[in-house]
Structures are given as C-alpha cells and as structure tokens.
C-alpha cells in the first residue's frame, strides 16, 4: 500500500521548471546507478514536435526535457543527485539504454544534478572481445588508453561493467566472462591508481550449475549451464585492495544465490567490496513460476528483519543504486522498474542508517562533492 500511495503521489506531484532552472530536490540522497531509457529521446522529440510544429528539434532541447523528467522523479523521492551510467554492452548485441554520449548530453543539461559514469559501452566490449589468452600488451595498452580517456572526461565510476548478465527476454543480451579476466584485473589496477570505483553487475554462481528453468523460459539467449564465478570475484577483489568494487542490484536475485550468508562472508573477507541495494517492482521469477528469491522486501513491501540486520551491520559498506531506466515524457506516471520501490525502503531504517546508505557512503566511496 505504501508503494502504491507513493507511486500515485509521484504521478500527481511532478515538478519540471521554475523559471529557467530545474527544481531542486527537498532531500539530499544520491543514487549511484541509473540509466537513460532507450525510448526517451524518440518520445521526447515527438512530444516537442507536436507542441512546436515546424521548428527544428535540437539534441540540447531533447535532453533538457529528459533531464527535467528524471529530476522530477528524483525530487519526489528526495534524491538530490544521481550517477547516470551506460549499461554493459557486448557485441554484437546493441546496448539497452543510454550510451556514454547520451549520458554526456544529459549531464550538460543538469550538471548540478548528475554525475557521469562510463565504461559499459567502451570498456566492456573489449573484455568480451578477447579470451584471457588473447590479452597481449598491445590489447592492455588499448584498454588503458580508453579507460584514461574516460577519466579525463570526468567519470566518477567505471561501469556498468558486467561479469554475468542474464537475458530477461528474447531481445535482451546474455553475457558471461570471468571476473578475474586479465582486463578486469587491469581495470582494478586503473581503478586503484585513480581512486575510481567499479560498478559491477554479476549474478552469483557458487559452482557450475544448470540454468534455472525460469531463465530458460524467459529467453533462449540464456545457455543451458552457467559457470561458477564467486572464486573469480574473490580473485578480482584480492588482486588490488585499493580498487573499490561496488556489487550492484543486491536484493534482486534471478538464480537464488544472492543470499545474506554469501554477502556477509564476502564483505567480511574483502574490505574493498561494497554493495548497492535495489528493489525491483517485479515480485516473481521471470517466468512467473514462483516468488523471486532473496528479495529485500516481503509481499507487503516491508523490509525483512534479516535484511534490516544485514544493512545495520554493514551500514558503512552499502549504497543505493536503483538501476532504473528513466527519462520518458512528463505524462509517464512513474519510472518503470525500480526507482520508487528502491528509494521507498529508506523510510523503514533509522534516520542515521538512511543517511549513511542514502548519501554519506556514496560521497566517500565515489569521491563526490
């Protein structure tokens, strides 16, 4: 009921402009992981064309509208700033969501509200292009140059990087690579040198396993078996302790292994590991065959007691990354995936914990101002 009421509130209470300035949020939270909706630019151009027939629609106008749309939702959930980040891209699949260039356009229109992330569409394809044995010094040099170009552009995080990305429908990419791939290890060294964290997307697989029927039914892009990746993740974490790895989408589990026990063990062993919470609107497995496992909230949208305890115990190591695809036209009642749901859970923590995981940790981990 709380989520429903807040969603209605979001749809009814949307801010866009105050004079020539974007409206500022009431709160000061920071979302460490959002995307641009792939349909946002097209729909925004169509909307402007209807309102201003015969006028040329510039990219600047389009992305100013998109920025205003996203900011309106941020304001209503007390989110002051957000890191906008391209999704991981793997050739030959086109990337879902905003490209690095689109993220730049968005930030140009609201630099006071957004930070830039980069690497999902630039570094990720190189990791998937080369097998470990094919990573020569020349490949490493090419990778390093691209990473350093992103740093000069002002990114605050490398991402979204992906070690295991499941396909949720037939048009959605599947990708799998070992987290200790040589280029991931190189990225950890670059991350440590420049103190820029890595946002990592990875479904946990403790040992080689058959892909669950729920994922096979959801998309034929998913293979019959999945490779173990937890040991490789630990290798990545141990490779350079100065590299901060922020494991994304905690609380969203498609394989059944994103358990509090696993997370507790890894956080205790690896001081450079951090986690970003996400609560998706979807409550069921992808094929609707049963409830999603290891979800932070119960069927009444209440944070489960064991998750309250987990967040409290590791309150210095947790941030919020809603992972929503945002920016649609102003008539849209709410972001479609997880923004409202994720930020609503802060109401269920103490003010001190909410401030830590909602803002303070993000500032420290990502070196934000």
User: How high is the pLDDT of residue 2?
Assistant: 45
Q: What angle (nearest 5°) sits at the alpha carbon of residue 102, between those of residues 343 and 337?
A: 30
Provide the 10 A C-beta neighbour count for residue 354: 21
Segment 169-176 shows an average pLDDT of: 89
Q: In the predicted model, what is the mean pLDDT of the chain?
A: 88
User: How high is the pLDDT of residue 92?
Assistant: 65
In a 13 Å sphere around the CA of 313, the CA atoms on its Cβ side amount to: 13
Tell which residue, 349, 357, 348, 358, has the closest CA to residue 2.
348
Model confidence band, residue 351 (pLDDT cutoffs 50, 70, 90)? very high
Query: Which carries the bigger pLDDT value, residue 49 or residue 280?
Result: 280
User: How high is the pLDDT of residue 246?
Assistant: 98
Q: Where are the beta strands (DSSP E) in the chain?
A: 17-18, 21-22, 29-36, 79-84, 114-119, 157-165, 175-176, 198-202, 209-210, 225-226, 245-250, 273-277, 318-320, 325-326
- The H helix count followed by the E strand count for the chain is 14, 14
Tell which residue, 182, 59, 86, has the closest CA to residue 126.
182
Query: Which carries the bigger pLDDT value, residue 112 or residue 284?
Result: 112
Q: Which tokens in the block code for residue 21?
A: 């300035």
Residue 13 has pLDDT above 50, yes or no: no
Residue 322 has pLDDT above 90, yes or no: yes
User: How high is the pLDDT of residue 26?
Assistant: 40
Lowest mean pLDDT among 7-21, 52-66, 237-251, 285-299: 7-21
362: left (phi over 0), alpha (psi -120 to 50) or beta: alpha
Lowest mean pLDDT among 60-64, 179-183, 204-208: 60-64
Residue 86 has pLDDT above 50, yes or no: yes
Q: Which tokens in the block code for residue 199?
A: 């946002």
Give 166-196 as a DSSP string: --SSTTS--EE--TT-HHHHHHHHHHHHHT-
Segment 4-16 shows an average pLDDT of: 41
What Cα–Cα distance (Å) separates residue 216 from each residue in 19, 115, 171, 201?
51, 36, 14, 20
The model's pLDDT over 101-156, given as tens digits with 9 standing for 90+, comes to 899 999 999 999 999 999 999 999 999 999 999 999 999 999 999 999 999 999 99
Report domain extents, the chain: 2-366
Model confidence band, residue 247 (pLDDT cutoffs 50, 70, 90)? very high
Q: Using CA atoms, how far apart are residues 293 and 291, in angstroms rounded to an integer?
A: 6
Model confidence band, residue 305 (pLDDT cutoffs 50, 70, 90)? very high
What Cα–Cα distance (Å) separates residue 96 from each residue in 38, 90, 116, 185?
6, 10, 17, 26
The three state secondary structure string of 45-89 is HHHHHHHCCCCCCCHHHHHHHHHHHHHHHHHHCCEEEEEECCCCC
User: How high is the pLDDT of residue 115?
Assistant: 98
Q: Using CA atoms, how far apart are residues 30 and 299, in angstroms rounded to an integer?
A: 26
Residue showing tokens 């989520």: 3
The three state secondary structure string of 210-230 is ECCHHHHHHCCCCCCEECCCH
Lowest mean pLDDT among 48-62, 113-127, 280-294: 48-62
Q: Using CA atoms, how far apart are residues 239 and 187, in angstroms rounded to an integer?
A: 11
User: How high is the pLDDT of residue 367?
Assistant: 98
Provide the 10 A C-beta neighbour count for residue 286: 21
Residue 236 has pLDDT above 80, yes or no: yes
Q: Which CATH number fits domain 2-366: 3.40.309.10, 3.40.50.10420, 3.20.20.140, 3.40.1280.10?
A: 3.20.20.140
Q: Using CA atoms, how far apart are residues 33 and 28, in angstroms rounded to an integer?
A: 16
User: How high is the pLDDT of residue 201?
Assistant: 97
DSSP SS3 for 291: strand
User: How high is the pLDDT of residue 332?
Assistant: 56
Q: Using CA atoms, how far apart are residues 103 and 57, in angstroms rounded to an integer?
A: 18
Residue showing tokens 């269920």: 348
User: How high is the pLDDT of residue 333?
Assistant: 55
Query: Which carries the bigger pLDDT value, residue 355 or residue 43?
Result: 355
Determine what percent of the chain is predicted with pLDDT higher than 70: 86
User: How high is the pLDDT of residue 49?
Assistant: 63
Strand pairing category for 273-277 and 318-320: parallel
Tell me the backbone φ, ψ of residue 355, rounded to 5 degrees: -65, -40
Segment 73-102 shows an average pLDDT of: 84
Question: Is the pTM higher than 0.85?
Answer: yes
Residue 282 has pLDDT above 80, yes or no: yes
| DSSP character at residue 284 | B
């Amino acid at each position: 009921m709380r989520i429903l009421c807040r969603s209605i509130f979001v749809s009814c209470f949307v801010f866009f402009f105050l004079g020539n300035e974007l409206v500022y949020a009431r709160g000061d939270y920071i979302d460490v992981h959002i995307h641009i909706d792939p349909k946002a630019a097209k729909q925004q151009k169509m909307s402007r064309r209807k309102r201003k027939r015969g006028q040329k629609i510039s990219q600047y106008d389009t992305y100013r509208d998109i920025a205003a749309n996203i900011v309106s939702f941020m304001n209503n959930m007390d989110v002051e700033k957000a890191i906008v980040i391209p999704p991981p891209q793997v050739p030959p699949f086109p990337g879902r969501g905003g490209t690095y260039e689109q993220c730049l356009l968005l930030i140009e229109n609201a630099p006071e509200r957004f930070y830039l992330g980069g690497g999902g569409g630039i570094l990720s394809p190189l990791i998937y292009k080369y097998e470990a044995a094919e990573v020569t010094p020349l490949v490493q040099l090419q990778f390093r140059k691209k990473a350093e170009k992103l740093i000069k552009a002002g990114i605050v995080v490398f991402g979204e990087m992906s070690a295991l990305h499941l396909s949720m429908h037939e048009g959605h990419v599947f990708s799998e690579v070992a987290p200790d791939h040589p280029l991931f290890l190189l990225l950890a060294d670059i991350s440590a040198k420049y103190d820029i964290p890595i946002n990592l997307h990875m479904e946990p697989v403790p040992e080689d396993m058959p892909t669950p029927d729920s994922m096979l039914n959801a998309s034929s892009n998913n293979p019959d078996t999945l490779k173990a990746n937890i040991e490789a993740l630990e290798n990545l974490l141990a490779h350079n302790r100065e590299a901060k790895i922020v494991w994304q989408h905690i609380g969203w589990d498609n394989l059944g292994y994103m358990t509090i026990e696993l997370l507790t063990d890894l956080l205790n062993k690896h001081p450079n590991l951090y986690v970003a919470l996400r609560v998706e609107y979807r409550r069921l497995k992808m094929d609707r065959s049963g409830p999603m496992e290891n979800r932070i909230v119960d069927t009444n949208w209440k944070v489960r007691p064991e998750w309250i305890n987990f967040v409290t115990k590791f309150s210095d190591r947790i941030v919020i990354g809603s992972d929503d695809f945002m920016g649609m036209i102003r008539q849209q009642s709410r972001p479609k995936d997880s923004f409202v749901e994720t930020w609503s859970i802060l109401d269920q923590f103490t003010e001190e914990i909410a401030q830590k995981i909602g803002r303070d940790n993000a500032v420290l981990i990502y070196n934000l101002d």
